[in-house]
Amino acid sequence: MIKEMIMNKWLLTNTRLIMSTELISKAGSGVMAPELVMNAILMGCMLFLALLVIVAVIRSILGPGITDRLISVNMIGTMVIAAIAILSIFLKEDYLVDVCLVYAMVSFLTVVVLAKVYTGNYMKKKEICDEDDVVQSGLRRQEALEVSRRREKKKGKEEK
Amino acid sequence: MDVVKMIAAGSCLIIGMVFFLLCTFGVNRFKRSLNRIHAAAVGDTLGLLFTMAGLIIWRGFSFTSLKLLAVVVFFWLASPVAAHMLARLEVETHEDLGEIEVDRR
Amino acid sequence: MSRKKQDYEHSFLYHFRQWVAGNVDPLEGTMEIRVPQKKAAETVAPDLKQIRTVYDPSKNKELKRFNRLYKASSLLLVLLLMGVLIWAMGFMPEIGAEAAPAHNATAGRYVEKGLEETGAVNFVTGMILDYRAFDTFGESCVLFIATICVQILLRVDKDSSWRKGRKTEEAEDSFRPGEDVVLQKVSTVLVPLIFIFGIYVILNGHLSPGGGFSGGAIVGAGLILYVNAFGFEKTERFFTGKTFKIITVASLSFYALAKTYSFYTGANHLPTGIPLGVPGAILSSGLILPLNICVGMVVACTMYAFYALFRKGGF
């Protein structure tokens, strides 16, 4: 029974794929059932989104700063959400829309958390650097003070 | 009726794809991060809106299309905040922003 | 009138108590302990010029060659791995093939009798929380143990000066949410929506895709968003380490008890007495709904606890 079920499912998806590809091949031969055309459009949209995601991935690798990378990752999230929504309509599986909602939430949370964490770490590092500067300048001032004291002592001895 | 639906949904989807293309193009074209945020937000709002509108038209009104609408509503609430956080990150961590004047408070 | 013991300080009990409290080293004075004398550390001033020339690939030819080799070999490794994986994909059975190893008697029984025996419309939930509930129990225990391990690893002595300084200053400075009104206003709208969605996913675990793990992750994500917007001071009013312990231990022990009961009755062919209900209704499928809620609470607490531990070092 399970084999039959899986076979049916497989056939269903595959026939849809086959139908849409056949439709693309004989677009001019007068087959204009709206569902088939729509399937072709959905398929084309998903392929197009996949292409754009690849471009965005390249941007996220090249991006010079962390902000550019985050922007392109956020963009990839949006495109993947659109692709999942299209897929759920294409396969007529309603549960994939739930995945969409969760993905939207997670991609928003990613940006917020990463921005917060990075800003916090940056500020801390900056403070540590500033503290180092303060300490070093203080040390330099102390050294200068000691040198001047020694000179004064020497001068006092010489005067005696 | 089906043909009208198909034409409306298909054109909506294609407009959404055009917006996604524009946003990818803009992100690769602009040189500064603050400009790139502006380009990426187009895809987040209009691209997703048109794509989902096309899918809702094609699917008809049901619980699934309500969920698709919920995705759009969530994104319209969340995406400006994400852009705001990114801009804040850029302003706070990038010391040298060129000729852009920033009101640091 | 109690009799006062005069030489209490010389009694065995006193010594034993002192030893338990850790005040007295019982081996002190009885063992010969040689403390190695510390030598004055010889400080060698690092030759900065030499270091710079050694780590500069434009001056050090060996390093340059090594860098090139490193890049080439890593690329080769990745390509090789990709090739092996793609080649191995060719040996996978086709989708729906008769001879696939996944199509055995177990899968057939799950599909045929799953709805009847568990009452869950969603087969996967029926499988992981009924047939394989012991496995899921282990998974949720792993989450709890992982949180405790992280807590142990990040533990700092209470009286160390580092912690004192860190707790007071850092909590106010770098973890303060800042004057981010935009995020705060939007999260007041979004966080309840996220919680409602998470609770919906948890409660509908036996009817639709989802369940304890995914719903708990959604609720935990909502908590993390809330922390990011309002800071730890606000969440600590309702979620502290104590709350975490109570919630996780209570739900894990409830899970263990419920599943023990069901295993005991099942192994002895006794009736469980838990009605399975009408498939498709919210209150159906016996123990699966409360178990889903337990797992969801554990997962949500773990998500938040990990975030708080790695962000703040304790909660």
C187 plus C232 within the same structural domain: yes
Q: Residues A47, A7: one domain?
A: no
Closest partner residue to B89 among A34, A56, A115, by Cβ?
Answer: A115
pLDDT of residue C309: 86
Q: Which residue in B75, B79, B81 has the most chain C C-beta atoms within 10 A of its own C-beta, making it the best mutation to test that interface?
A: B81
Residue C98: the pLDDT is 73
Q: Do A101 and C197 touch (CB under 8 A)?
A: yes
> What phi-psi label fits residue C285: left (phi over 0), alpha (psi between -120 and 50 degrees) or beta?
left
C95/A105 touch (CB, cutoff 8 Å), yes or no: no
What does the pLDDT read at residue C86? 92
Q: How far apart are CA C244 and CA B80, in angstroms?
A: 33
pLDDT of residue B49: 92
Contacts of C193 (CB under 8 A, 6+ apart): B74
Give the nearest partner residue to A94 out of B64, B79, B82, using CB atoms.
B64
Q: At a CB cut-off of 8 Å and minimum separation 6, what does A159 contact?
A: none
The one-letter amino acid at C126: G
pLDDT at C75: 95
The answer to whether the CB of C46 falls within 8 A of the CB of C53 is: no
Q: Quick one: pLDDT at residue C195?
A: 93
Do C141 and C51 share a structural domain? no
Query: What's the gap in Å between the CA of C166 and the closest CA on chain A?
Result: 12
Q: Is residue C38 part of a domain?
A: no
* C-alpha–C-alpha distance, residues B58 and B51, integer Å: 11
Asked whether residue A143 falls in the same domain as residue A77, the answer is yes
DSSP string, chain A: -HHHHHHHHHHHHHHHHHHHHHHHHTTTTT---HHHHHHHHHHHHHHHHHHHHHHHHHHHHH-SSHHHHHHHHHHHHHHHHHHHHHHHHHTT-TTHHHHHHHHHHHHHHHHHHHHHHHHHHHHHHHHHHHHHHHHHHHHHHHHHHHHHHHHHHHHHHHH-
Of B12, B47, B78, give the one whose Cα is nearest residue A56: B47
Nearest to B43 among A75, A112, A116 (CB): A75
How many beta-carbon pairs below 8 A join chains A and B? Answer: 147
Residue pair C180/A68 in contact by the 8 Å Cβ criterion: no
Q: Which subunits have 3 or more CB–CB pairs within 8 Å of chain A?
A: B, C
For residue B82, count other CB atoms closer than 10 A to its CB. Answer: 28
| pLDDT attached to residue C112 | 81
Q: Which chains have 3 or more CB–CB distances shorter than 8 Å to chain B?
A: A, C
- What is the band of A1 on the pLDDT scale with cuts at 50, 70, 90? low
pLDDT at A13: 59
Verdict on whether the full-model pTM lies above 0.80: no
Cβ contact C190–B78 (<8 Å)? yes
Nearest partner of C175 among C306, C310, C312, judged by Cα: C312
Expressed as residue numbers, the domain containing A14 is: 1-31
* C77 and C190 within one domain: no
Q: What is the mean pLDDT of residues A74-80?
A: 92
Chain B residue with the nearest C-alpha to that of C179: B105
Mean pLDDT along residues A46-56: 92
Q: What is the pLDDT of residue C223?
A: 92
Number of domains chain A is built from: 2
In this structure, are C80 and C181 located in the same domain?
no
End position of a domain, from candidates C87, C113, C142: C87
What pLDDT, on a 0 to 100 scale, did the predictor assign at position C216?
93
Which ipTM was obtained for this model? 0.89
For the cut 60, the answer to whether the pLDDT of residue A28 exceeds it is: no
Amino acid sitting at position A32:
M
3-state secondary structure of C239: coil
Question: Is C304 in contact with C220 (CB distance < 8 Å)?
Answer: yes
Supply the pLDDT for residue C54.
76
* Number of domains forming the structure of chain C: 2
Q: With a cut of 70, which residues of chain C have pLDDT below it?
A: 1-5, 24-46, 96, 156-179, 314-315
Domain that holds residue C297: 122-158+177-312
pLDDT in tens, B52-103: 999 999 888 888 888 889 899 998 988 999 998 888 888 877 766 666 666 6
Same structural domain for residues C238 and C306? yes
**A82-127 confidence digits (pLDDT tens):** 999 999 988 888 888 888 888 999 899 999 888 888 888 887 777 7
Q: Do C103 and A5 touch (CB under 8 A)?
A: no
